[in-house]
Amino acid sequence: MKKGFFSLILLFCCTLALNSCIKNTPYETTLDPYLTASIGTYNFTSKTVVPTTVDTQAHDSIVTLKITGNSSDLGYVNDQIILTVSSYKEKIGTFSIVQGQASATFVHNHVADPAIGGIVAITKISANSLIGYFSFQTASGTSVLDGAFSVGKPWYFY
């Protein structure tokens, strides 16, 4: 009787352990993309953030990463911050706007104001996201500071 009861308990524990094991099913991960920055007294917060890559030639290794953040502010619905990293190699790093490794544009009231100095940095690349920061000065003198982003990792055709 004791052996039968012990066997039943052992069978129950084994079944419970096997059912709680991780099965070979894909994990669903949700991204919470954002792009924020301080522009004077205005705090830019994106409603949508879209990462894209542009392959300049069909068989060339030059790929440009472009991240576009569209404003969530109801007063400035058409504002955008557009960040670009030239020769994107899927590696972390700090990219200079002055040296032409990156570019940035602040679009306010449909007027594009390109950056003349600053940086775009990618600090973390995971299987499905890019995380980084940026700051730049535009041609009209606007300072876009304390910028941060987290976006889905773009995919492209090879």
What is the spatial distance between Cα 139 and Cα 36, in angstroms, rounded to a whole number? 20
Domain total of the chain = 1
Predicted pLDDT of residue 72 = 83
* Model-wide pTM > 0.85: no
How many distinct helices (H) and strands (E) make up the chain? Answer: 1, 9
9 lies in some domain: no
Domain range enclosing 102: 31-152
pLDDT digits (tens, 9 = 90+) for 2-52: 555 555 555 555 555 555 554 444 444 446 899 999 998 899 999 989 888
More confident residue, 86 or 31: 86
Looking at the chain, the whole-number percentage of residues with pLDDT higher than 90 is 49
